[in-house]
Copies of this chain bind each other. A is one copy, B any other.
Amino acid sequence: MGKLLIVGSMAFDAIETPFGKTGKILGGAATFIGLAADQFNVESAIVSVVGDDFPQTYLDIFTDRNIDISGVEIVKGGKTFYWKGKYHNDLNSRDTLVTELNTLGDFNPIVPESFKDADVVMLGNLHPNIQMGVINQMEERPKLIILDTMNFWMDNTWTELINVINHIDVITINDEEARQLTNEYSLVKAAAKIQKMGPKYVVIKKGEHGALLFHDEHIFFAPALPLEEVFDPTGAGDTFAGGFAGYLAQTKNISFESIKNAIIQGSNLASFCVEKFGTERMVALQKHEIDKRLLQFKELTQFNIELT
């Protein structure tokens, strides 16, 4: 059993999809990452910040799962990060209606002493200086540092982002972000350029079209499971990252073969996340459901090639 350190937002999300809308519900990158990683045999901790408007029942979700939240700062009189968004009919794009950074705007992450030797560090989407600040607090170089980011940081904190990218092992970004980061349309060329920036592994997320893993000359592809209905895509990317990180923290094996399996595990968990609003499906998820769907992934992709 490995140690996994998770850094990211905890949030209130208000979501509108073609199928319905919610009030303020539990959200945030660290939330989805933590719940996904908890499906593996890992010791994990979350470093985040919330206001004192964040309900105890939400915090209990993590402590009930033995996820260490001693690194979640609760700012007295502060308000929790709030995001409100509305998805378009195809669920592939969305408009952000409200972003209130609140306490997240002054987030100064403190890594708990007992996790300064974590095997795997999962840096959720945050200001690259905050991500770098976490790396600097580690006592020894973790086996694996995974970073998620987005176009906002490319637009606004380019230098800081390039710096932290140079210190990590795996980057997870979507296809458009990979193109923006490299000015290359071809994802093969983009991934090659990103590898030269530091990360040995580049994971390019294509939403409903799956995810690509690039490492040296190797490419691996994991499809998204075709679903009858996608109900709410919120958190799918973080759930993917959490499954990926959780699996690798459990196995402590960072070979290419193992990382391929991690991509499948992440894709598998993400396929559940989108079935209900927010964290609802992930909180209720059972091991036997996960195993059953892993077999579907196998059926979806495996074939016996015959050379003609």
Residue ranges of A at the interface with B (Cβ–Cβ < 8 Å): 39-41, 89-90, 185-189, 206, 209-210, 212, 218-221, 223, 226-230, 247, 250, 257, 260-261, 264-265, 287, 290-291, 294-295, 297-308
Q: How far is the CA of A303 from the CA of B250 in the complex (A)?
A: 18
Residue of B nearest to A301 (CB): B301
Whether B229 and A186, one on each chain, are in contact in the complex, defined by CB atoms closer than 8 angstroms, is: yes
Residue of B nearest to A179 (CB): B90
Q: How far is the CA of A229 from the CA of B301 in the complex (A)?
A: 25
- Chain B residues positioned under 8 Å from A308 (CB to CB): 39-41, 247, 250, 265, 287, 290-291
A261's contact among B188, B247, B306, by CB below 8 Å, is which? B306
Whether B305 and A294, one on each chain, are in contact in the complex, defined by CB atoms closer than 8 angstroms, is: yes
Between A and B, 10 residue pairs with Cβ closer than 8 Å are A90-B185, A188-B228, A219-B300, A220-B300, A221-B301, A257-B304, A290-B308, A291-B308, A294-B307, A301-B302
Whether B210 and A223, one on each chain, are in contact in the complex, defined by CB atoms closer than 8 angstroms, is: yes
Q: How many copies does the complex hold?
A: 2
Residue of B nearest to A294 (CB): B305
Whether B299 and A305, one on each chain, are in contact in the complex, defined by CB atoms closer than 8 angstroms, is: no
- Chain B residues positioned under 8 Å from A261 (CB to CB): 303-306
* 12 additional A-B residue pairs with CB within 8 Å, beyond A220-B301, A257-B303: A187-B226, A188-B228, A212-B226, A219-B299, A220-B303, A221-B223, A257-B304, A261-B304, A264-B305, A287-B308, A290-B308, A291-B308
- Chain B residues positioned under 8 Å from A304 (CB to CB): 257, 261
